[in-house]
Amino acid sequence: MWENVAEVREVAFHVTRFTPERDVKPRVQTFQVPVRAGMTVLEGLHYIKENLDSSLVWRYSCRMGVCGSCGMLLNGRPGLACNTQIFDIAGTDLTVGPLPNFDVVRDLIPDLVPMFSKHAGLRPHVVREDAADQDDPAGEYFQTPAQLEEFLQFTYCIKCACCMAACPTLATDAGYLGPMPLAQVQRYNVDTRDGGRGERLAAAGAAHGVFRCHYAGECSRVCPKGVDPAKAIQHLKRQLVLDYLHLARRQKPCAKQHGPGKGTRDPQIPASPPRTIGA
Amino acid sequence: MRETKYWTWFMAAGLLILALLGLHMVVMHLGSLTHLFAAHPDQPSVAQANSQARDASLFFTLSYVVLLGAGLFHGLYGLRVVVFELSLKPAAEKALSALLLVVGLGLFGLGTYAAFAAHGRAAGASPAVASVAGASLAGRS
Ligand code: HEM
Ligand code: SF4
Ligand code: SF4
Ligand code: FES
């Protein structure tokens, strides 16, 4: 598309500025940014901070689509500033705002605490009946590649909140659990090592849970990691209904295979180095 | 569990509406083509004689009552969903649920009464009509 890699073109960044302690409402400030092919929105913001206005703030860390910090509203669509190339979405103008459906800490920084509270409340980790074993596992849990495949895509979630910003239900119902936490419910519920399914389903099926999802699918469309939270939510509805109708197939969490050092290693695989902690 | 229960029945009601409303459309609105359940095929499906004949049949009376129940539950639950998404306080949510339950039961009672009253009238007033309807049902369904 942009054959002349050296070409530099000015793009007007219309950036939302807001300091809640000082401003009554957000305002939009425009910056002219020289953009070359391949430049990301994150780089554009750095250009502004270094050359035009050092007071602009946003959140980022890894700058490679891994940490989930830099979710923003880019030309009206939630996305990661670090893996969105400016010329892919903008010609001469680009609007950059904070993710909607969240309060704003400052400028482009959404307050993600409500999302993380919902997430943490759903026990997003493998739950075993034996608490002591959970804290210090004494063996491996067997899982086939096919069983892993059942939830693998949901593990790619980086908690960037783009899906939460795109969700029309969350726009009016702040109590709705939302696509990210619910996708993580599915991720652990179908994990054969897990025993926390009942507890998570009870929370997911409550008044502001999965049944508030209308399957518009915007969450899945905007996810920068290819996760499909909308699908997870429909699976959860199905699990809940089948449970209610007593049609669900029950399965116990898989058993431990053996204690450490008691398994037989494939001779092709070299021995692991000695433990450095807890030896 | 309660929301799951509501939603399961909400979906079941949707399917019932699909079936019974489909029947309704085929019988009433496509009647001139299908002539289904028309005790008097020479008259339009929605003519009084045909309407009374259907009222006289227990099957149609029950199908109206079930359609009413399914429609009310589906529609009122749907309304509850929409209103719940406006971030109400829990007390308001409870009050709304109770109000919708009362409205739903009230309308269902009224409609059921009307359907059976019409059934009693049609069946009682003209046994001939009823038997024609019965014969038509037996013969055509
Ligand atoms: C052909 C028959 C029907 C079928 C198959 C059907 C199916 C559905 C389905 C699957 C939903 C869920 C949508 C969601 O969760 O977002 C729904 C929602 C709804 N339906 Fe129906 N429906 C039917 C007829 C009706 C009728 C006759 C009414 C009105 C009395 C109605 C009123 C509603 C309402 C208010 C909602 C909630 C909308 C929402 O959740 O956003 N439906 N219906
Ligand atoms: S599901 Fe996708 S969009 Fe949502 S938080 Fe995870 S990575 Fe981000
Ligand atoms: S599919 Fe459900 S969770 Fe995803 S954006 Fe739509 S309503 Fe929200
Ligand atoms: S900076 Fe880490 S995902 Fe963008």
Q: Does B88 touch chain A (CB under 8 A)?
A: no
Taking only the tens place, the pLDDT of each residue in B90-137 is 999 999 999 999 999 999 999 999 999 999 988 886 554 444 444 444
Angle at A10 (CA atoms; ends A5, A12), nearest 5 degrees = 135
Q: How far is the CA of B113 from the centre of ligand 4 (A)?
A: 64
**Is the Cβ atom of A159 under 6 angstroms away from ligand 2?**
yes
Residue A183 near ligand 2, beta carbon < 6 Å: yes
Q: Contact at 8 Å (CB) between A79 and A107?
A: no
Which of B1, B87, B93 has the CB atom closest to A244's CB atom? B1
Other CB atoms closer than 10 Å to residue B42's CB: what's the count? 9
Say if A202 is an interface residue toward chain B (CB within 8 Å).
yes
Contact A176, A164 (CB under 8 A): no
Check if B110 has its Cβ closer than 6 Å to any atom of ligand 1. Answer: no
Tokens 């639950």 correspond to B77
Question: What superfamily does domain A9-110 belong to in CATH?
Answer: Beta-grasp domain (3.10.20.30)
Residue ID of nearest Cα to ligand 2 atom 6: A157
Count chain A–chain B contacts defined by CB atoms under 8 A. Answer: 42
User: What are the boundaries of each domain within chain A?
Assistant: 9-110, 113-256
Q: Specify the pTM.
A: 0.86
In CATH, what number does B2-135 get?
Answer: 1.20.1300.10
Instruction: Please state which CATH number belongs to domain A113-256.
Output: 1.10.1060.10
Please indicate whether residue A51 or residue B28 has the higher confidence score (pLDDT). Answer: A51
Residue B122 is predicted with a pLDDT of 87
For residue B117, the Cα-to-chain-centroid distance in whole angstroms is 15
For the CA of A67, the nearest ligand: 4
Q: Give the lowest-confidence range in A93-107, A114-128, B26-40.
A: B26-40
Token pair belonging to A90: 């903008």
Distance separating alpha carbons of residues A63 and A48, to the nearest angstrom: 16
